[in-house]
Amino acid sequence: MTQQPSVILATASYDRSIRFWEAKSGRCYRTIQYPETQVNRLEITPDKRFLAAAGNPHIRLFDVESNNPQPVMNYESHTNNVMAVGFQCDGKWMYSGSEDGTVKIWDLRAPGCQREYESRAAVNTVVLHPNQVPEVDTAVRSLTVMWDGSLVVAANNRGTCYVWRLLQGTQTMTNFEPLHKLQAHDGYILKCLLSPELCEPNRYLATASADNTVKIWNVGGFTLEKVLVGHQRWVWDCVFSVDGAFLITASSDTTARLWSMSTGENLKVYQGHHKATTCCALHDGAEPSC
């Protein structure tokens, strides 16, 4: 077992590999070959022990602190592309969404799928509300919820973001109050993401697009703050640092990039993949206390 950096940054590419990076130096210190399928989504467990890779039609769980290229666990019951994966804050439960039209809940302490929800269409994105009760979203390109559960943003293929205020309804139902419609890009929005708690009092929305840019919006009035320019092709994914001071992006130009949120400057380029880099995962904070 080797000592790994406290900041975990991972990317996956159409070259069917997963790479781990030193965030500051840009050095790739570990590569996992993933020959079976492309990786659609990456997510790191809250305790930084494992990396989940969502593929077609399975999920593989890798040990972050080991150089073993083999997964420590396989999740197989989806029947089509797995497009979303994430974890409950205590790391005991994993959720996933697939183009097979289902959302599944997995107990990491036991084999098999513990719960399944059916959708009428392919599930492209799933997020977990802060009250930790999974809710199935509609078949939009990307969905994000504010850390305190006050807002939800859905982005579609026409470059539009729809914003709702979340109001508490019954115990099992949340009411959505339309708040804003934002024409963020002219083309596809591939990822939308609201800033984390430690970014307060500033609240931002990042939108990554097929127009090769990422735009940063002030949630207060949904005004455009910055346009992050540097990628040469579609930007598929993005993730904030825990304090919201930095943003990592992944692009079809084969690179991932590190950006300063205060200046919009591109601070680092992570190069090593040979095909499109389609997703990224970052964990630079302490373990959560649920």
DSSP state of 148: T
What's the pLDDT band for 157 if we cut at 50, 70, 90? confident
Give me the count of residues in the chain.
Answer: 290
- What per-residue string of b and e applies to 62-97 under the rule 16 or more CB within 10 Å gives b? bebeeeeeebeeebebbeebbbbbbbbeebebbbbb
What proportion of the chain, given as a percentage, has pLDDT over 70?
91
Higher model confidence: residue 156 or residue 248? 248
Tens of pLDDT, residues 164-212? 998 876 655 678 888 999 999 998 999 999 999 999 889 999 999 999 9
Amino acid 4: pLDDT: 57
Amino acid 1: pLDDT: 45
What's the pLDDT band for 152 if we cut at 50, 70, 90? very high
Tens of pLDDT, residues 98-128? 999 999 999 988 778 988 988 878 888 888 7
Tens of pLDDT, residues 162-171? 999 988 766 5
| Region at 68 (left for phi over 0; alpha for psi -120 to 50; beta for the rest) | beta
Among 47, 52, 40, which residue's Cα sits nearest to residue 13?
A: 40
Where does residue 161 rank: exposed (0-12), middle (13-18), buried (19+ CB within 10 A)?
buried
pTM of the model: 0.85
